[in-house]
Amino acid sequence: MKFLDEAKIFLKSGDGGPGACSFRREKFIEYGGPDGGNGGRGGHVVVEAVEGLNTLIDFRYRQHFKAQTGGSGAGRDRSGGAGEDLVIRVPVGTVVLAEDKETALADLTEVGQRIVLARGGDGGFGNAHYKTSTNRAPRRADPGWPGEELWVWLRLKLIADAGLVGLPNAGKSTFLAAVSRARPKIADYPFTTLHPNLGVVGLDEREFVIADIPGLIEGAHEGAGLGDRFLGHVERCGALLHLVDGTQEDPGAAYRTVRHELEAYGAVLAGKTELVALNKIDALDEAEQAERLAALQAACGRRPFAISGATGQGVRELLRALWQAIQADREAETEAEERRAGIEPAAWRP
């Protein structure tokens, strides 16, 4: 299955059904009067987050969605049936944007969450609706109201607890394969991951999800390489794990390059808790390792972890620190939600 995290689609809700112009015609009833029913409402267009989907690939082959038109009114005061709603199923984590790609219409972060994006048109009135004491035989029947139509963008942001960032060939895919059951492409020649990968990490009877995104290069925020379009997948993460290749000459410069791209993307990522690790230390001797760690520490301002995704050295300690950062972010988020709801934070309660 191909990975697609962005798609543009056209939505059209159902038009309302027309009302009927009809008169009652029965034997021995001289003045039957109007009996035209109203038209039915057109179907809504609804977007719903469901389980079992992790890509927007279905929307590459179908871009136009139209809900059912409402039924027409009929004689004998029969109203038309409402049009069937059209439910568009998307992965959890999908953001619905307006055509300008800036205005957010919906953010579907939970299974079963749904929102009506286009409401169906109301049905037209039949001539029975217009009957009055002074207008006993109206011949007016209205057409249904047209439905709404709009173009929207669907953008998928993966739901993960931690995100892996770094330059291409920093060892992110190797690390993800070592700590989870994910099997991203790994090879002994330079290349970059082309689409995000998710892995579930089991640690001390706990589990959390790590997202590996394609590597960043200098100028990614200006569109260089694959650009920064995949950074949206780590916006929801509680912490970032920044891997730096220990075999390169200047790990400090590599760190600053990626950090600059994160800051250029926005405060959403720049303000997240970041753990820094020097990877591939199995390929370094003690002197080289000490020199690279010192250079990286000078660049990031704190002691980095020393790990090897290939041999597992230092990985367990790094995962425990990462879990603590995720837990701290969850507690801060819970406290913020309590503040917004006017609930006294748990830390302040006696």
SS (H, E, C) the chain: CCCCCEEEEEEECCCCCCCCCCECCECCECCCCECCCCCCCCCCEEEEEECCCCCCCHHHHCCEEECCCCCCCECCCECCCCCCCEEEEEECCEEEECCCCCCEEEEECCCCCEEEEECCCCCCCCHHHHCCCCCCCCCCCCCCCCCCEEEEEEEECCCCCEEEECCCCCCHHHHHHHHECCCCCCCCCCCCCCCCEEEEEEECCEEEEEEECCCCCCCHHHCCCCCCHHHHHHCCCCEEEEEEECCCCCHHHHHHHHHHHHHHHCHHHHCCEEEEEEECHHHCCHHHHHHHHHHHHHHHCCCCEECCCCCCCCHHHHHHHHHHHHHHHHHHHHHHHHHHCCCCCHHHCC
Beta strands at 6-12 and 149-156: parallel, antiparallel or unpaired: antiparallel
Q: What is the pTM of this model?
A: 0.75
Question: Token pair for residue 202?
Answer: 């089991």
Per-residue pLDDT of the chain (350 residues), as tens digits, is 466 888 999 999 999 999 999 999 888 888 889 999 999 999 999 999 998 887 898 898 899 999 999 999 999 999 999 999 999 999 998 999 999 988 999 999 899 999 999 999 999 999 999 999 999 999 999 999 999 999 999 998 877 888 888 888 888 888 888 888 767 655 454 445 556 777 888 887 788 888 887 767 665 445 544 445 677 777 888 899 999 998 888 889 989 988 888 888 776 777 888 999 999 998 888 888 999 999 999 999 988 999 998 888 999 999 999 999 988 888 887 787 777 777 665 544 44
Partnered with residue 149 across adjacent β-strands are 12
On whether the CB atoms of residues 37 and 74 are closer than 8 A, the answer is yes
State whether the Cα torsion 242-95-59-7 is positive or negative: negative
The residue whose two tokens read 């139209």 is 66
CB atoms near residue 38 (< 10 Å) = 28
Residues with Cβ within 8 Å of residue 146, at least 6 apart in sequence: 15, 16, 121
Residues annotated in a binding site for Mg(2+): 173, 193
Residue 289 contacts residue 306 (beta carbons within 8 Å): yes
Closest by CA position to 264, among listed 198, 220, 232: 220
Q: How large is the C-alpha radius of gyration of the chain?
A: 29
Residue numbering of the annotated binding site: 166-173, 191-195, 212-215, 279-282, 308-310
Q: Residue 221's pLDDT is what?
A: 47
For tokens 């057109």, what's the residue? Answer: 42
Residue 261: predicted pLDDT:
82
Q: Which residues contact 65 (CB under 8 A, 6 or more apart)?
A: 9, 10, 11, 12, 45, 86, 88
Structural domains in the chain?
A: 1-156 (2.70.210.12), 162-340 (3.40.50.300)
What pLDDT, on a 0 to 100 scale, did the predictor assign at position 159? Answer: 76
pLDDT of amino acid 346: 52
Reading the block at residue 17, the tokens are: 């059904």
Binding-site entries for GTP = 166-173, 191-195, 212-215, 279-282, 308-310
On whether the CB atoms of residues 73 and 35 are closer than 8 A, the answer is no
- The strand order across the sheet containing 114-118 reads 86-91, 45-50, 114-118
- Is residue 170 within 8 Å of 309, Cβ to Cβ? no
